[in-house]
Amino acid sequence: MLRALLLILSVVAIAHAELCKPDAQNAFKVRISIKTALGDNAYAWDANEEYLFKAMVAFAMRRYSSKSTTQISNVLLCNVTDRVSFWFVVTDSSKNVTTVPGSVVEAAIRMNRNRINSAFLLSDKTLQFLKITSTLSPPVEPSTPVWLIVFGVVLCLIVAGIVFLIVSGIQKHKKKNKESTERENLEEKVEVTVTLENGLPCEVLDLKAGHINGVFPADDERFTSL
């Protein structure tokens, strides 16, 4: 009796060892980086955490397919390293000594990735299922790009400034025209004295100090034209 029991146990153990080993069929490698994620609040990876992991995988399988009857004992872990990384398979309790197809496991885990991550206080990056790629969440995009809004505001301000300056410039020009016609009427009555020197007003002369004396006519006109 005892011998038969031992034989069955060893067969089961060997079978489990056969099912769960690195690069086995339908096995997945998991890599966990607790210290990176939690820093000082990091917990140690021990047998209890492994139990929770098995429970989460079983939960995921059950949630994915309502027909599933996966038990915690169906999830096998092996090759746990210090990194913390390990391999796991999910055995099928209905069929003896076989594993659930990898695609099913993958789909189940993908569907429940969030729940699994939050059970361990980790994220997609720190709890990695090496063969299962995670769908990255798209960034939030507003209906109009933000930059166009800012651009529109600045553009309106600048155009308003230009229009204001042009209009005020035109108004000033009109006022100056009116004033100058008034002044012309005034000037006919009053004589404005402008100091002249040799036919040229004085202001032109004093700026070219020294070498060029504006009093004398410019070079081109030295010879009287014919």
Q: Which is nearer to another protein, 66 or 213 (CB)?
A: 213
Question: Which residues have C-beta within 8 Å of that of residue 60, sequence separation ≥ 6?
Answer: 108, 109, 111, 112, 115, 116
Q: Which is nearer to another protein, 97 or 204 (CB)?
A: 204
Q: What is the DSSP string of 23-88?
A: T-TT-EEEEE-HHHHHGGGPPP--HHHHHHHHHHHHHHHHHH-TT----GGGEEEE---TTSEEEE
Q: Least distance from C-beta 6 to another protein, angstroms?
A: 33
* 165 sits near another protein (criterion: CB under 8 A): yes
Cα 121 from chain centre: 23
User: Tokens 């096995």 appear where?
Assistant: 27
The answer to whether 90 and 100 have CB atoms below 8 angstroms apart is: yes
Q: Choose the stretch contacting another protein; rule: CB under 8 A; options: 12-20, 63-71, 100-108, 148-156.
A: 148-156
Choice between 151 and 216, CB closer to another protein = 151
From the CB of 150, what's the least distance to another protein, in Å?
Answer: 4
Does residue 97 interact with another protein by CB under 8 A?
no
Member of 147, 193, 199, 221 binding another protein (CB under 8 A) = 147
- Among the listed residues 169, 183, 200, 217, the single contact to another protein using CB under 8 A: 169
CB of 216 to another protein, least distance (A): 15
Nearest to 59 by CA among 39, 46, 74, 48: 74
Task: For the CB of residue 112, give the shortest distance to another protein in the complex, in Å.
Answer: 18
The CB-of-10 to another protein minimum distance in angstroms stands at 28
Q: Which residues contact 68 (CB under 8 A, 6 or more apart)?
A: 61, 62
Q: Taking Cα atoms as reference points, which of 78, 70, 71 lies closest to residue 17?
A: 78
Distance CA 16, CA 5 (A): 16
- Does residue 223 interact with another protein by CB under 8 A? yes
Give the pair of three-digit tokens for residue 206. 């004093």
Q: Which of 2, 136, 190, 192 binds another protein (CB under 8 A)?
A: 136
Q: In the set 8, 202, 212, 215, which binds another protein (CB under 8 A)?
A: 212
Choose which of 138, 144, 190, 221 interacts with another protein (CB under 8 A).
138
Beta bridge partners of 85: 31
Residue 178 binds another protein, judged by CB under 8 A = no
Range 57-86, binding another protein (CB under 8 A): 81-85
Q: How far is the CB of 44 from another protein (least distance, A)?
A: 11
Pairing of strands 196-197, 85-90: unpaired
